[in-house]
Amino acid sequence: MKTEVFHISQITKRQMLFLKTNLLSGMPCILPTDTVYGLMVLGRVTKAREILNKIKNNPQDKPTQILCTPKQAAILAADQKQLAQAQKHWPGALTAILTASKEGKKYSGIDTVGLRVPNSTFLIDLMESLISPLLATSANFHGKAPCKNTAELLAVFDGIVPCIVLDDRPSKNIPSKIIDYTKTPPEIIR
């Protein structure tokens, strides 16, 4: 497979259709976030977490971040008090570990969810149009630094993912902060 590369500022309707079709069929794509480039798969795809972990060479039981809209976060989190604490920092670079709702457990596979509402109109619009959160992990192989630019992304993922969407704006290239709100007081993980 030849990996298609699109620029977020110039993405055409045909390219958006290509991206959405691949995500809907369970294919992972590389998308820009407000932190680092992410390897993402549509959350409602069967075995979405396993798809990401296999590509990254992660342990299969490794939890995966869930990027979501504010409305989706309310469905995936069980504890509204925990959710309210996280919402103070969204949209933005905070991954909040929260007690999972029944729906949230379908995505995470465990009793907690790692949710993040990204500060990205592109991602929010994409998730709303697909009516699904995105399971996401940094675009890199296990134990390696996240890819920062087109050359690094293509060196690692060309032929592995059907699509890479590039952001023309400079990225901070800093992973999100992680806070576990299931602990009292909340615990900073990263």
Residues 6+ away with beta carbon under 8 Å from 80: none
Q: How far apart are the first and last CA of the chain?
A: 36
Asked if 68 and 115 count as a contact pair (C-beta separation under 8 A), the reply is yes
Domains assigned to the chain: 4-188 (3.90.870.10)
**pLDDT tens figures, 22-71:** 999 999 999 999 999 999 999 999 889 899 999 999 888 888 999 999 99
Taking only the tens place, the pLDDT of each residue in 111-144 is: 999 999 999 999 999 999 999 999 999 999 998 9
Structure confidence at residue 30 (pLDDT): 97
CA pair distance 163, 187, nearest whole angstrom? 36
- Residue corresponding to tokens 């409305």: 71
Q: What is the DSSP letter of 143?
A: T
Average pLDDT value over all residues in the chain: 94
Q: What pLDDT is recorded for position 118?
A: 97
d(CA 71, CA 69) in angstroms, rounded, equals 5
Rounded average pLDDT over 144-150: 90
